[in-house]
A and B are shown apart, each in its own frame.
Chain A
Amino acid sequence: VPLMGERPPLRLPPVTRLIPASLVWAVTWIAMIGLDHRVDLANLAMLLVLASAIATLWLPIGASLLCTALSVLAFNWLFVPPRHAFSVDLRQDALLLGAMLAVSWIVAAVVARQRVLAESARRHAQRAEQLRGLGEALRDADDAAQSSLVLRTVLAELLGVPPKMLLLRDTLPPDDDAAATVLIGEPTPHELTGMWHCVRQARPFGPGTGHHAELQEWYLPLRARHAAFGAVSVALDSDPPDDTLRLQAQALCDQLGTFLQRTQTQRAAHAARDHAQAQGIRNALLAAISHDYRTPLAAIMGAASSLCEQGDRLATGQRQRLAQSIVDQTMQLSRLTENTLQLARLDGSGVQLRLDWESAEEIVGTALRHARSRDSQRRVRARLEPAVPLVRCDALLLSQLLDNLVDNALKYSAAPTPVELLVRRQSGCVVFAVRDRGPGVEPAWRERIFEVYQRGEHRAHDSDGSGALARRGAGVGLAVCRAIARAHGGELKLRVRAHGGASFECWLPEAVPPSVEPDEGRPGTA
């Protein structure tokens, strides 16, 4: 990050500064001696005043005043009659010499003053630029460690030595616990104590601060509005420390303090939001589990207890029906459990898919075989577009996805209408679509239906045709379908069909399967 550091003023070093000044004086004296007797005294005097003004640009004020005074004396000695004597005609030349000296001194003083002001303005601008640069660098910084290194670089440029730093990882610990901090620059135990003190008091220590002026270091807190988030320690050399430098360093430190406070606040907000979200999901999950699991459990409990307690009084047909109900409900519970577990697995990070080259025909065939065992009226039909390529996927997961979609379609469409399982190629994807002629999905629910444990309010076509208010959506079922599609780099979409009904479509990106060596030789059978 490019930063504006405190540069040394653009002045020449003292010795080299003398060169242009001496040159000016030398040229002036040569000119004056050369012009002697050709022009009158007042003109020569003007040359001297001019030289004095120009030389002042390079010389410090004291030297400038001294040079001018000596020059006036020499002028008097060489040019003012009586020559080669310091005596002066009081009526004629005293005024000239006096005015010369006064004008030169005033010019020198004004120029010097101007130079100091310009220098100070430049330093102010540079420090303001430094603050702005740090602010910008902090905006780009990702974390506390990076931002503190940025500050360290800036302070090193400002003060000439890189400071030692102590940063709190989180809130201030009750005792000076090193584990709660990040230390930069290997501070000595003495400096560490000083920095802890500085953090706890949230105020600077050291020469010029009004506290512990005897110290050989400055301790500057990284302050935010209410507290310090760390401290820096700056070793001082023997020079009397510059207060403006310390104030600038403190301003830079405070900027980092504010940044650290902001990141801490953001962290806390994130944590709170994540917590609330996790809480929300857990509550929805528990609510759905209590609903989805209780229904089949109640049916199983009823049938089993009836068999247990009244078994000998029931007719064979009744017993058979109860037993069948237990088998059916158990299968449903089993599927529900499988879906819930799968969803938890896919939600977790680092899920490992068992990817292989799978045939769409086989996956559809498996789904159809599973559906047949549950769909006594054989409403499910399948159709594959010719030449669908092999799909790179986890066959078990994709079977589970299609099983869920077919289950859902059977559940929400009336008995005589068919449920279709179609496979087609479209825009670089292989699309597995499960279509029904049920009531469809309300617009407001078309996206939410995929969220975990969301259910749409709908009149379902129950097998008895009562059309009682039921809820569209398989709860965990569609959520796990979408999770499976996404785990494959695909998507699960809901399309509304033109003449009623819904089409749930799993889009999986096409891939190029490896080639197969052609079958050689003669046929195996005649």
Chain B
Amino acid sequence: MSLAVLLVEDDRELRTMLRDALVVEGFEVFTAVSLSEGLALLGGLADRAGQRGPGIDLVLLDLGLPDGDGEALLAALRKRHSIPLIVISARDSDGEKIRLLDSGADDYLVKPFGIGELLARMRVSLRHRGTRLAPAVTRYEHGALSIDLASHAVRLAGTAVHLTPTEYKLLARLVRNAGQVVTHRQLLADVWGANYTEHTHYLRLYMGQLRAKLEADSTDPQRLLTEPGVGYRLAEASD
């Protein structure tokens, strides 16, 4: 059975192009041109497909819709489901993009983007489907680095790496969303606590320490990637 994607995008050219590209990849695509249509479609699909959850497997949401904020759709979606949602944004809407990530969006893409990049992000998000219910990702492999959250083991080329408790908590948080961006606020809240969400300098320090221990060249990281102004992304696991 093919996976269903809800594409909310008001630009006709981009919508048609993305739909065609996704159909070629074997997705079933529903399109909406506005927030209200997206919300209606989301509700309708959810009702229709009572037999298998919400009826769609992934949402692509453009910001800057003609009739309102993408936040409304995310809020409506998150009330009942943990379906992955990827934000498609122009560079101008940085603030809204980060707000959406903080309130539960899975990832974001800045326009213009290549279709390959979009498919990669969708793949990662779909793999993480259900992480909110049970931590699906407990093992992470990337080149010489292997992490096993179940046994608290971090190994680089077979040798155990010594991490402080905070470094380990931070790394584990990134592993649980490997391949996806995790915002500064989310990391700070989950690792240090809700009072620390503005203390980004903590993140800089501990990410620097992690890079020093886990990267061959910490100025040219291959695993612990920075998303400037947004957060961090652990490179997708290499299988």
Which residue from A361, A365, A524 sits with its C-beta under 8 Å from B167? A524
Chain A residues within an 8 Å CB radius of B114: 327
Measured CB to CB, the nearest residue on chain A to B184 is A356
Q: Is A525 an interface residue (CB 8 A)?
A: yes
Convert B110-154 into 0s and 1s, putting 1 for each residue whose CB lies closer than 8 angstroms to a CB of A.
Answer: 001010000000000000000000000000000000000000111
Which of these binds chain A: B41-49, B62-70, B157-165? B157-165
Complex-state Cα separation, A109 to B208, whole angstroms: 102
User: Cβ of A273: which chain B residues have Cβ within 8 Å of it?
Assistant: none
Checking A358, A382, A516 against B220 with a beta-carbon cut-off of 8 angstroms, the contacting residue is A382
Residue A510 at the chain B interface, CB threshold 8 Å:
no
User: Considering only CB atoms, which chain B residue lies closest to A383 in the complex?
Assistant: B219
Contact A368 B220 (CB under 8 A): yes
The answer, yes or no, to whether B16 is at the interface (CB within 8 Å) is no
Cβ-neighbour of A525 out of B91, B152, B205, B229 (below 8 A) = B152
Cβ of A304 within 8 Å of any chain B Cβ, yes or no, is no
In the complex, whether B81 has a CB less than 8 A from a CB of chain A is no
The answer, yes or no, to whether B32 is at the interface (CB within 8 Å) is: no
Q: Inside 8 A of A521's CB, which chain B residues have their CB?
A: 164-165
- Asked if A354 is an interface residue, CB under 8 A from chain B, the answer is yes
Q: Which parts of B201-237 form the interface with A (CB within 8 Å)?
A: 201-202, 204-208, 211, 218-221, 225-226, 228-229
Q: Does A409 contact B (CB under 8 A)?
A: no
By a CB distance below 8 angstroms, the chain A residues around B162 are: 523, 525
Q: Does B94 contact A (CB under 8 A)?
A: yes
Give the residue of A341, A361, A362, A526 whose beta carbon is less than 8 angstroms from that of B160: A526
- Asked if A8 is an interface residue, CB under 8 A from chain B, the answer is no
Is there contact, CB below 8 Å, between B229 and A354?
yes
- By beta carbon, the residue of chain A nearest B155 is A525
Whether a CB of chain A sits under 8 angstroms from the CB of B93 is no
Indicate whether B103 reaches chain A with its CB closer than 8 angstroms: no
Does any Cβ of B come within 8 Å of A330's Cβ? yes
Residues 328-370 (chain A) with a chain B CB within 8 angstroms: 330-331, 334, 338, 341, 354, 356-359, 361-366, 368-369
Q: Is A82's beta carbon under 8 Å from chain B? A: no
Q: How large is the interface on A (under 10, 10 to 19, 20 to 34, 35 or more residues)?
A: 35 or more
A137 to chain B, nearest CB (A): 51
Say how far B223's CB is from chain A's closest CB, in angstroms.
Answer: 11
Q: Is the CB of A361 within 8 A of B164?
A: no
Q: Which residues on the A side are within 8 Å of B92 (C-beta)?
A: 341
A522 and B169 CA atoms in complex are apart in Å by 13
The interface residues of chain B lying within 8 Å CB-to-CB of A35 are none
A443 to B133 CA separation, bound complex (whole angstroms): 64
Complex contact A524–B169 (CB within 8 A): yes
Q: Which of A41-49, A249-257, A391-399, A471-479 contacts B (4 or more CB under 8 A)?
A: A391-399
A362 contacts B168, C-beta separation under 8 Å? no
Q: Which of the residues B91, B152, B166 comes within 8 Å of A338, measured between beta carbons?
A: B91
B interface bracket (residues with beta carbon within 8 Å of A) = 35 or more
B94→A396 contact, CB < 8 A: yes
A241 contacts chain B at the CB level, 8 A cutoff: no
A210 close to chain B: CB less than 8 A: no
Q: Are B112 and A330 in contact (CB under 8 A)?
A: yes
- Asked if residues B228 and A359 are in contact (CB atoms below 8 Å), the reply is no
Assembly CA distance A340 to B229 (angstroms): 20
Q: How far is the CB of B92 from chain A (nearest CB, A)?
A: 8
Is there contact, CB below 8 Å, between A390 and B201? Answer: yes
Task: Give Cα distance in the complex from A358 to B168, angstroms.
Answer: 21
Partner of B204, one of A359, A398, A525: A359
Chain A residues whose C-beta falls within 8 Å of the C-beta of B154 in the assembled complex:
525
A524 and B228 in contact, given A357-B200, A514-B201 (Cβ under 8 angstroms): no
Tell whether, in the assembled complex, residue B219 and residue A525 are in contact, meaning their CB atoms are under 8 Å apart: no
Q: Which residues of A lie under 8 Å from residue B220 when comparing CB positions?
A: 365, 368-369, 382
If A359-B204, A365-B221 touch, whether A525 touches B226 (CB-CB below 8 Å) is: no
Contact of A357 among B94, B164, B204, B206 (CB under 8 A): B204
Tell me whether A524 and B204 are in contact in the complex, defined as CB-CB below 8 angstroms, given that A327-B114, A363-B228, A366-B226 are known contacts. Answer: no
A513 within 8 A of partner (CB): yes
Binary contact readout A24-50 vs B (1 if CB under 8 angstroms, 0 otherwise)? 000000000000000000000000000
10 contacts between A and B (CB under 8 A): A341-B92, A354-B94, A358-B228, A361-B219, A362-B204, A362-B207, A365-B220, A514-B199, A516-B201, A516-B205
A positions within 8 Å CB-CB of B:
327, 330-331, 334, 338, 341, 354, 356-359, 361-366, 368-369, 382-384, 390, 394-396, 398-399, 513-514, 516, 519-526
**Apart from A516-B201, A524-B169, what 16 extra A-B contacts exist at CB < 8 Å?**
A356-B200, A359-B204, A361-B208, A362-B208, A365-B220, A384-B219, A390-B204, A398-B228, A399-B228, A514-B199, A514-B201, A521-B164, A521-B165, A523-B162, A524-B167, A525-B153
Q: Which residues of B contact A (CB under 8 A)?
A: 91-92, 94, 112, 114, 152-154, 160-169, 199-202, 204-208, 211, 218-221, 225-226, 228-229
CB-based closest 3 A-B pairs: A524-B168, A395-B228, A357-B201
